[in-house]
Amino acid sequence: MEEKESVRIQDDLYHAVNGEWLKTAVIPADRPTAGGFAELDVGVEKLLIADLRAMAEGKKAISDPEMAKAVLLFKKGLDVERRNQEGLAPVIPALARIQALKDIADLNAHLKTMVLEGDALPLQMGVDVDMKDTSRHCFFLMGPSTILPDTTYYADGNKQGQALLGIYSAMAQKILSHSDLSKEDQELYLKDTLAFDQAISKIVKSQEEWADYVKNYNPVPLRQALEELKPLDFKGLLEGLYGRLPEKLIAFDPRFVRSFSDFFTAATFPLYKHWAYVKTLLGATGYLSETLRDEGGLYRRSLLGLKENPSVEKMAYRVAALGAFDEVVGLYYGKTYFGEEAKKDVVDMVKSIIAMYKQRMAKNDFLQEDTKKEAILKLDKIVIKMGYPDQVQELYKNLTVDEKSSFYEAASTIDNEKTAYALNKLFTPVNRTLWVMPGNMVNACYNPYSNDITFPAAILQYPFYSLQQSRSENLGAIGAVIGHEISHAFDNNGAQCDENGNLHNWWSKTDFKTFKEKTKAMVKEFDGIPFAGNKVNGKLVVSENIADNGGMAVTLAILKTLPDPDYQGYFKAWAKIWCQKAQPQYQQLLLSIDVHSPTELRANMTPRNFPEWYSAFGVTSKDGMYLPEEKRVTIW
């Protein structure tokens, strides 16, 4: 994208604030973006790689047994010589299990083992929080993931989808050539893999459908579910795992579950078997030799617009510190680098934002009193998780890393132990103290099923937050992000959960009808905006746009109460946090699958809905950043 010359802030806030940086910024060869979140992530990654390497070399003390295991896994990733010598050998046992399957009866006989070993199956399953009773767990079902990022890529005439499948096929052919399969079998396995993937794409949800996550809750009585899942012996699987049966299963993707018996048959079993072989082989390449890691990264690089694979150090760090032992390394990062003064300041900001939200709810002009009381109760019950947890959960204390195992075997063992741990939760109470993000992740989230907000230590840095920034600037940056996460409690999805996170309609019919109309207006505001050669899907991104809108509304309300509010500083800080330079391929991908609007639009569209924007910079109907009053949307 060409950067604009001499941009007026009244015409384009994003480019006026970030234009100079955008002219010279260079996207790292192994990343799809630069700036904003990515820049902080690069800094955290460099810092922790240096620490892990120092620990691995005995130059820095290792704080606890869990960190020692993370360091050992990191070292295995760094051992290029061993990985190169091993080649495909570490994944051969997993491939052999798949190759040995004769038919569906044989699959059923080994189903429990395959689930616990993380083998590729014709459906996905697991244990999650029960949306209707968030004190309990449920067993869920959904379809396998497709090769392409979304079902829309499979539509006839979709040239991007066709091109990506071509790249995937070329990559798979190269990787299969390293196996002991004959040339004829290599071609057959790839052909069957693509055919099975096409069948999956016809019956699983699109990303737009997944964005309406309340519709994931589709309870199916056990007897009906067992019938729909034939020819799989799901009863035998559940009895083998638990020794007893749950009353119901939850179909996250009900269309797939209803279609399963037609999709998975004796006739399609050979396609499944070859698909599982290829999927397992390709999925292992990132842990094997450098040649296989490079060849196996071709599709991902093409999808994201990357010029090269991450370095060995970065790969080892991401596997150990953002994957296997994320909470362990996150706790280390938080304790080592996150200041208590900053933590207290941000927690105080969160409390002030919640308090202002409650005031605004009390004065809301479209909610009835009973609905307002329920909304305020939900705000009262929000749990704040700031920085990092007090201690790691028991799961990490029980993970094992064998000194003698290969990198692939070690990572697979950890994945399998995590799978078993998660499955074993089915008949146990939900632990609401768990964190869904580690302290070293540059991100933030609201969890609708526990009504809590999480702000990892890694995001609490400039430009999002700094003790050296003014209160107005911090409100426009981290404050608006905090408000954004709180607003998710009242977006089109979160609004359907109560103060305990249960799916529960606490609205009057009139109020919810009005809310839905406002939601439609938010869809319309963004829908169809041209961007990166495509258009924004307003339905896909509506929940995040509602959250942006609410976050700005509540922080502008707080700004008004400051003795010397700096509205220009507020909006400039807002624009700065969304500064991003991205590869075109990545922009295209996000438009198809991401529930967030492009960062440029987040920076420029949201302010237009608020009178403070117009008074701060004297914006009029003659300016590019003007939106007629009748088209402005505010919900919270």
Active site residues: 485, 548
Determine contact, residues 228/116, Cβ cutoff 8 Å. Answer: no
- What is the rounded CA–CA span in Å between residue 266 and residue 236? 19
CA angle 308, 312, 315 (to 5 degrees): 85
Identify whether 231 is preceded by a cis peptide bond (ω within 30 of 0). yes
Determine contact, residues 123/200, Cβ cutoff 8 Å. Answer: no
Determine contact, residues 427/441, Cβ cutoff 8 Å. Answer: no
Strand 219-221, strand 383-387: pairing: unpaired
State the CB neighbour count (10 A cutoff) for residue 195: 14
Determine contact, residues 540/595, Cβ cutoff 8 Å. Answer: yes
User: Does residue 129 sit in helix, strand or coil?
Assistant: strand
Cα-atom radius of gyration of the chain, to the nearest Å? Answer: 25
Residue in the structure block whose two tokens are 């902080």: 40
> Please, what's the b/e burial string for 508-518 (b: 16 or more CB within 10 A of its CB; e: otherwise)?
eeebbebbeeb
Residue 360 C-beta-side C-alpha neighbours within 13 Å: 22
> Please, what's the b/e burial string for 164-191 (b: 16 or more CB within 10 A of its CB; e: otherwise)?
bbeebbebbeebbebbebeeeebeebbe
- What is the rounded CA–CA span in Å between residue 268 and residue 198? 12
